[in-house]
Structure 1
Amino acid sequence: MRTGSYDYIVIGGGSAGCVLAGRLTEDPAVSVLLVEAGGRNRELLVRMPAGVGELIKAKSKHNWGFWTAPEPHLDGRRLWWPRGRGLGGSSAINGMIYSRGHPRDYDRWRQSGLAGWGWDDVLPWFRKLEGHHRGGDLHGQTGPLKVSPGESDSPFNAAFIEAGRQAGYPVTEDFNGTQPEGFGPYDLTIGDGRRWTAAEAYLAPALRRPNLTIVTDARTTRIRLMGGRAVGIDYAVGRDLRQADARMEVLVAAGAVQSPHLLQLSGIGDPERLRAAGLAPMHDLAGVGENLQDHLDVIMNWRSLGLRTVFSEVKGLRQLGVGLRYAFTGKGVGRQNFLEAGAFIPSREGLEHADIQIHAVLAIMRDHGKVKATEDGFSLHLCQLRPESRGRIGLQSDDPFADPLIEPNYLSTAEDRRVMREAVKIGRDVAAQAALDPYRDAELAPGEEVRSDAQIDAWVRAKAETIYHPIGTCRMGTDAEAVVDGTLRVRGLDGLRVVDASVMPSLISGNTNAPTIMIAEKAADMIRGGTMQVAA
């Protein structure tokens, strides 16, 4: 059944798709169809920042809950890969850390030939999206995405930051300011005590616009191509198969896992791999699905002394009380994400900038929270920011409802293994500082018995997991392997762009949600012909 014709069709209502739908429909002469596989994401669990632990750990209507293929350098384990489902996408289930990355990340993009993507080029778009509590020359205050400081009164966060100082690292008050390295407090995408998703920021103001049509619980199964041009999509709502036509462009914003998967299902990719999956090649573009990069994470846990942690706050019936208090009053620990401090530090001397990130969490964490804590404690999440390892996203079959093949290929280089080893040593050093003496008890993971390099390497192989930042699978570039050009148009096809984290050529040194929203803001302006007002 053909459902209509629109100027633009946006596939995916995640962080990027919400921006595109909101910005493009600011022009009343433009019609947009937004197709999202999940629902509206209006539940209390999504709105309440403390709900993050429940959202991440299980497959649900909010979480695709993918698994990787067996990882050859991680003892053959299959890794849990949560990805957001529903309006807001992963901004509806993530840890709410607002991090732009390091300016040099973007300057490397520009130096690779991507004009318009250096730090000076993207900073105005970051400022445009921000409703930031700080203001000043580096931050926007009137943008749609609310950015605020944490609210926790726990002494742990200040003690962790002081421990970093005692270990010899600088301290910063603003990771998104002039000093993006060292130990300090995180900015959070929380507004008025609520998780501030991309849907809250960009779709909510647009819902009454007559030129915006949103279809939820709808799986896009194919992009239709005709004469070298994307002309529309096929999608399914339950068993109801539908088609929609695009007069101008189809904009793929399904994320770093599902955007390349959809392109492949549509016959766009490596012809040999497409045929092997039973699909007819429509456009030869071998780079689709390649260049997968992600931040690998290990979690060090300590039993705590004298700290009221997540375990105490939600033990037994208290969890119900937290939810009820938040639901009826908007107050209490439900307003917190329990992850308010961190660090960006180098693994060795002489590096251009930090290559390790720490998230300090007021909870013992095991296996994405799937294993419940049984006592009070804290954890340090340590991840490598710029891994050398590259993986890919592929097809398991020609079935559009089958999960994609995910092969991250973590720790495939000696340098990646070195950085993760050093991260564990640094985590231990920081935790041993005097500032944490009043709160630190026994080390639970990896445990005091894990000391030698070989033992640390073995523990990393056995326990490392994703920290949820996949990118790069529809890489932006100027070479033959690039999937999109600097304007995010799919190379060799008309009327088709990819706009999401999959276009990043390399990982940024931080959490990826804010850069994804920035990319979509910049893309919306490109699509509108450079008519949007950008922050000065």
Structure 2
Amino acid sequence: MFVRWACALLAIAASSVICDAQSTYDAIIVGSGPGGLVAAEYLSRDPSVSVLILEAGLKSLAATGGTAGPDYAKSQGLTAFDIPGEYDNTIYTRDYAQYRVDWISGTSMYLGKLVGGCSSINAALYFRPPNEYVTQMQWPFSAESMMSKMDENEKIHSHTDQPSTDGQWYTQEGYKIVSKAFSAQGHREVTINDASARNSKDKTFGHAPYSFKNGKRDTPANAFWAPMSKRSNVQLMTEAKVDYVLRTGGKATGVVYNGGNAKALLSSRGTVIMAAGAISTPKVLIQSGIGPSEQLNLLKGNNKFPGVAQADGITNPYVGRNLFDTNVVFPSFSHPDMKSFRYGDRASWAIDQYMNKNASGPFSSPGPTLIGYENFEVQGRMYEFQTTVLTRGFGEYTARNDALTTSLYVNNPESRAASGFDKNGNWYAFKEGTPYFGTNRDLVALQTYTSRVVGAMTAQGATFLSGSGSDADSVAKWVASNRGLIAHHFGGSCYASSDSSAGSKRCADEKMRVLGTSNVFVADASAMRDGTVNPYGFIMYMGREVAELVSSYISTGGAGDAWATQQPSQVMAYSLPPTSPTSPEVASVFIPSMIVWPSMEIPAPLPTPRCTLNV
């Protein structure tokens, strides 16, 4: 026991030191994202359960020992990740490049590589999904279970739609303009996370809800890590990038990390929890010899991937498939009543208020002010749309003082991609297909919604800046020419489902275990079959759900029929939704691309990247 914790303590104190853990762990968590940290906190409540968290990146919030931040914040021991108003100035700038993943080829993305994962760098918008979401995607657990576990999580983390400590809302000009436009179209103002509102979202809007406390980020790297950091049975290693899962057949026995220079072993009752994110979790699984046969065969002879050849491969055709992301465009408007606020300017008066008046004022928020929803059918499919209002213009309209942005989302697109390796061992998020307007119906859906929003805004005196005109045809052409923006709301790449039928394409079973394995669980957005509201809150819930399952597994040692290994359905071929560019507004090739956001600095442009913020 002493050797194990001595090694872990040494690793977090001086991350460049690599050593083999000489003892064993009951739970090894791959990635310290929101699902992983929530799971770790619950499991480590039992002092007899040993937990190891392996994080590829660096420390983040002050609670984790992080120190990176602006000079003005150092006197109070705050990092840039603690301060909501520093959101624009962190992950999108060269100074913070070390906090984002660097193992994805072909497309530049702003995915977190730090303690807390996405929840330490996103806007921390916190939503409870509608109850019907879990039934529609054949989630293994009930809406009641989701709600009760979110209730339990909320006893640890805070949430509010009034982030400023003085109880006032700031930078509300955009909120007033859009709320007037929406109200004129029959939309109603609600409290977003109230049960009546979240279960009846159509034509509603309200103030943006966040997981903040006392004007600071209260995401898992603070709310969940802080209490468990004092427990002797849980340790966190930073700069510990997992290469593959050690296994004997379908049973995990440990993990290898940092280029094969270190390993951590499981106890006889131990489990691995995958929480590396929807793009990185399938990467680690395939590197472990768990995935589609063509991917395993591709890497089997490559000595850079020893985990593939360690034992007989586990054919799971659905690892890395079904990847989705929110589809989004960012139309900008001007309005005579608008007073833009740019967080990248770091207005001295706003910083002074935040630092000297109890974390109040605009910097207690990262920017989004209004959230709006509308649902309607397009070509026989029900779509769920979202508006997120920002306090300034987008792209070329950022510098205007009378501009605002309405981020317009398709939360449940049908387009899908598949992540995978190429023959040279490079990892691609979109190796096959595209999650962005991969079907004509997805495009038409967002064109229709955007036209409705533009019409509502111009009817109230706003000017549509982004397009050549505000008529339906002009708006449709503008949407088509701005498709492919990355929203970073990824999911679906190893989805769990209660559907165990012969034709099921699930990747994980009803106990959240990767099919073909007995003790490898998934606790990140990979497990979500379909999109919904900003997924961060659901991922935290998922971490709590998985933790309870893992606790049950540990207590029984995985014995009994209830924990028998389930195999994936071997469907002849997994086909992505067809890419069908049937209208003149749709190009034959859909390539994600990057658009420059305020304060964003791109060190070296990659081929055809187009990336946006992950609010």
Aligned to 2:538: 515
Alignment check: 8 A CA contact 2:383 2:413 kept: no
Structure 1 residue aligned with 2:368 = 339
SS of 1:334's equivalent in the other structure is helix
Aligned to 2:111: 83
Seen in structure 2, the aligned counterparts of structure 1 residues 84 and 124 have a Cα distance that, compared at 3 Å, is same
What percent of counterpart residues are identical?
A: 21
Counterpart CA distance in 2 for 1:530 and 1:308 is: 55
Kept after mapping to 2: 8 A contact 1:525/1:531:
no
Report the equivalent of 1:57.
Answer: 92
Partner AA of 2:313 in structure 1? M
Of 512, 529, 539, the residue aligned with 1:488 is: 512
Pick from 48, 55, 68 the counterpart of residue 83 of structure 2: 48
User: Which whole-Å CA distance do the structure 2 matches of 1:457 and 1:196 have between them?
Assistant: 41
Deviations 1:348-381 (A, max 9, x none): 59999761111011111239xxx95354410001
Number of matched residues?
A: 490
Give how far 1:520 is off.
0.7
Maintained 8 Å contact 2:85/2:366:
yes
Partner SS, residue 485 of structure 1: coil
Q: Which residue of 1 aligns with 2:245?
A: 223
1:520 to 1:398, Cα distance in 2 relative to 1, 3 A:
farther
- What is the alpha-carbon distance in structure 2 between the residues aligned to residue 384 and residue 295 of structure 1? 6
Q: Corresponding residue for 2:404?
A: 378
Question: Quick one: distance in 2 between partners of 1:380 and 1:413?
Answer: 23
Q: Secondary structure at the match of 2:247?
A: strand
2:295 corresponds to which residue? Answer: 273
Contact 1:396/1:405 (<8 A) preserved: no
Counterpart position of 1:246: 266
Alignment counterpart, residue 30 of structure 1, candidates 49, 60, 72 = 49
In 1, the alpha carbon distance for the partners of 2:417 and 2:344 equals 38
Separation in 1, partners of 2:378, 2:256? 53
Alignment partners' CA distance in 1, 2:360 and 2:161:
16
Structure 1 residue 210: Cα displacement = 0.6
Distance 1:159 1:306 in 2: 8
Q: Structure 2 CA distance, aligned partners of 1:378 and 1:93?
A: 22
Distance 1:383 1:7 in 2: 41
- Structure number with the higher strand fraction is 1
Q: Does 1:3 align with 2:21?
A: yes
Partner of 2:206: 184
Could you tell me which runs of 5 or more consecutive residues in structure 2 were left unpaired when the two chains were aligned: 1-18, 62-67, 69-78, 303-307, 556-615
The normalised TM-score by structure 1 is 0.84
Residues 191/88 of structure 1: CA separation in 2 closer, same or farther (3 Å cut): same
2:32 is matched with: 13
> Match of 2:190?
172
Q: Which amino acid aligns with 2:156?
A: P
TM-score by structure 2 length?
A: 0.74
Q: Which runs of 5+ in 1 are unaligned?
A: 70-77, 131-142
Render the CA deviation track for 1:23-75: whole Å, top value 9, x for unaligned: 11100001011000111103421111111212343462332278775xxxxxx
Alignment-mate amino acid for residue 109 of structure 2: W
CA distance 1:453–1:179, shift in 2 (3 Å): same
Report the CA distance between 1:493 and its aligned residue: 1.4
2:456 counterpart (422, 430, 433): 430
CA shift, 1:107, in A, is 1.7
**In structure 2, C-alpha distance between the alignment counterparts of 1:389 and 1:335, rounded to whole Å:** 36
CA distance in 2, matches of 1:266, 1:364: 45
> Are the structure 2 counterparts of residues 222 and 381 from structure 1 closer, same or farther at C-alpha, using a change threshold of 3 Å?
same
* Paired residues for 1:288-327 under 5 Å: 288-311=319-342, 314-315=344-345, 318-319=346-347, 322-323=350-351, 326-327=354-355
CA-based RMSD: 2.8
Distance 2:58 2:209 in 1: 28
Q: Equivalent residue for 2:392?
A: 363
AA aligned to 1:303 is S
**Aligned equivalents of 2:475 and 2:176: distance in 1?**
31
User: Would you say the 8 A contact 1:167–1:433 is kept in 2?
Assistant: no
Tell whether 2:178 aligns with 1:160: yes
Tell me the amino acid that sits aligned with residue 53 of structure 2.
L
C-alpha separation in 1, matches of 2:104 and 2:399: 23
